[in-house]
Structures are given as structure tokens and as C-alpha cells.
């Protein structure tokens, strides 16, 4: 009899119940062994670090794309892009300072949202 059939059959005798329990234990043991043998040995702290690096790369890619789009909309020639970035960072800093929520509070919120470890 198959394992699933044993579990679905009414346990009219104690031997059937014991057989189902034994099969269940065997299946659990096989699953446990397979999982242990097939894990790749990655430590949680390595995953956290990799996730943090991936998030930073993603944000940097977004920022660079936004800067290029902003420069293009402003009709900045490609050879003046670096100067545009330097000047525009100053404008962004002013916006941050003028924001109604403090930098500290915004940092705290962002750190909580992206806490990766």
C-alpha cells in the first residue's frame, strides 16, 4: 500500500496506525536527510551581506538612470554631464535640508525598511 492510502484509511487496528506512523517517520527522515545533503553551505550572514550589496547596486543603477534622464530633460550635453551631476547634487542637498521631516528621522525610517540583518 502506498503511504497516502495508509494515512487516509481509518485506523481500525493499532497495527495499521503504527504502520502509518512508521511510514510518516521514514518520510520525515528521508526529507530531513535530503535537505541536509542538498544545502549549499551558505551562511545567513553571507546572504544578508549579498542582499545588502545587491540593494545598493540596484539603487545606484536607479540613481544613475535618473541623473541621465534629468540631464537630458535639461538639455545638458553629454560631455557636460559630470559638471551637471556635481551642481545638481548641491541642489538636491538643499532640497533635503528644506524637507519638513528631519534627515535623522528619514534615515531611521529607511534603515528600518531596508534592515537586512
**If you average pLDDT over every residue of the chain, what do you get?**
80
- Please tell me the predicted confidence (pLDDT) of residue 100: 95
pLDDT in tens, 15-25: 666 666 666 77
pTM for the model: 0.55
pLDDT in tens, 28-59: 766 666 665 666 677 777 888 888 899 999 99
Region at 41 (left for phi over 0; alpha for psi -120 to 50; beta for the rest): left
> Which DSSP string do the residues of 45-112 spell out, in sequence order?
HHHHHHHHHHHHHHHHHHHHHHHHHHHHHTT--GGGHHHHHHHHHHHHHHHHHHSSS-HHHHHHHHHH
- How far is 24 from 12, CA to CA, in rounded Å? 18
Query: What is the number of other CB atoms lying within 10 angstroms of the CB of residue 115?
Result: 9
43 vs 85 pLDDT, higher one? 85
Amino acid at each position: 500500500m502506498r503511504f497516502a492510502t495508509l494515512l487516509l484509511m481509518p485506523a481500525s487496528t493499532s497495527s495499521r496506525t503504527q504502520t502509518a506512523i512508521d511510514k510518516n517517520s521514514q518520510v520525515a527522515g528521508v526529507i530531513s536527510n535530503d535537505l541536509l545533503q542538498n544545502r549549499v553551505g551558505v551562511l545567513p550572514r553571507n546572504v544578508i551581506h549579498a542582499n545588502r550589496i545587491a540593494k545598493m547596486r540596484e539603487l545606484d543603477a536607479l540613481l544613475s538612470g535618473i541623473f541621465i534622464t534629468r540631464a537630458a530633460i535639461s538639455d545638458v550635453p553629454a560631455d557636460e554631464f559630470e559638471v551637471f551631476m556635481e551642481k545638481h547634487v548641491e541642489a538636491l542637498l538643499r532640497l533635503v535640508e528644506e524637507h519638513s521631516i528631519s534627515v535623522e528621522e528619514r534615515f531611521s525610517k529607511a534603515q528600518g525598511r531596508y534592515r537586512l540583518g
